Amino acid sequence: MDLLTHFLVPYIILTAVKSKNKLAGAFGGISPDFDTIFVAWIGILSPNLFIFSHRGITHSFIFGFVTSTIFLYVISRKQVNEFIGNIIKRDITVKFTYTTIAIAYFGVLTHLLLDYLTTLGIPLFFPFSITRYALNLYQSLDLITIILAAIVMLIIYMKINYKYKKAAMAIFMIILISFGGLRAYEKINILDDETPTLNGNYNQVALYPTSNIFVWDVVKSNSQNSSYIVSQYNGWSNQESNIQTFYTPSVENGNYSAGLNAIKIADTLPVVKQFKWNSYYTIVNARYDSTKWDVTYSDIINSYTANNLTVTVP
């Protein structure tokens, strides 16, 4: 989800329960996404540390708490608080207490929940596991949600009657929950339609959202994850299109066993591990070229990787 929504959701919930520390919750809600400034460069410079990236280390239960606590401490300092307040012409005073630390962590939990609803996922249980968890109801950034969040933020910022601010916040939450419910309903219906079509080697089906709320990427796979059927399904018209089949691994211009060995070596490289961590479904092709193997990794649907990655193995 976007930064504005991550600010608004805890802010609105805490406003509803009449908390005096709603800003602490809102700041906690946005704190994990400051990994793009303070953490992500580590993963870029050292692919072996790919957990230090956006939606990496700060998007876990343990380090989310560490992140929100540090963020709250910094923004509660008088110099920082006054500097930001003078820029935006608003009082954003927050205190650094046990209570506000807990409320800031509540903001983190709402952040993790919202990002869990999206594609790519988050490593909730890091450092015990780097597995990402995702419900795949939204794309990571949803244009409609961003626009609505921006409008509500503007209304909150404006010096107008508070009842209009409350109304805007309530409408935003109703729309956000309704859209989530609609997406969940669509996904369940399509899964119900697609599951009976599984046959032969294909025994698994997964759905991923697109920018169109009614259109989903459908991936059918076998138990070995060596064969995939990818298509798009329109839940509004109940039509399937753009059907493609992929097989992995594949070997060209060389001995098959030697190609598999080249892939095995390539899989140990940090850049490959990073690619796979950001990829939904990775397919790999090894192509022999005179004295070396070019091993290419691709994702069969749109993800957060580059289009493909090619590494060379002697």
pLDDT for position 16: 96
Q: What distances in angstroms separate CA 301 from CA 79, 281, 298, 305, one per listed residue?
A: 47, 7, 9, 10
42 pLDDT more than 90: no
The model carries a pTM of 0.91
Please determine, for residue 298, whether its predicted confidence score (pLDDT) is greater than 60. yes
- What is the tens place of the pLDDT at every residue in 132-160? 999 999 988 899 999 999 999 999 999 99
Domain-wise residue ranges, the chain? 3-141, 250-313
Residue 199 pLDDT > 90: no
How far apart are alpha carbons 268 and 17 in whole angstroms?
A: 50
Q: What CA–CA distance (Å, rounded) separates 25 from 60?
A: 17
Q: What is the pLDDT of residue 73?
A: 97
- Please, which pLDDT band fits residue 57 given cuts at 50, 70 and 90? very high
Alpha helices (H) along the chain: 3-16, 22-30, 35-38, 40-45, 61-76, 78-88, 98-116, 143-157, 162-194, 256-266, 270-278
pLDDT (tens digit per residue) in 91-101: 999 999 999 99
The predicted-structure confidence for 104-122, as pLDDT tens digits, reads as follows: 999 999 999 999 999 888 9
Q: In 3D, which of 141, 145, 134 has the Cα closest to residue 112?
A: 134
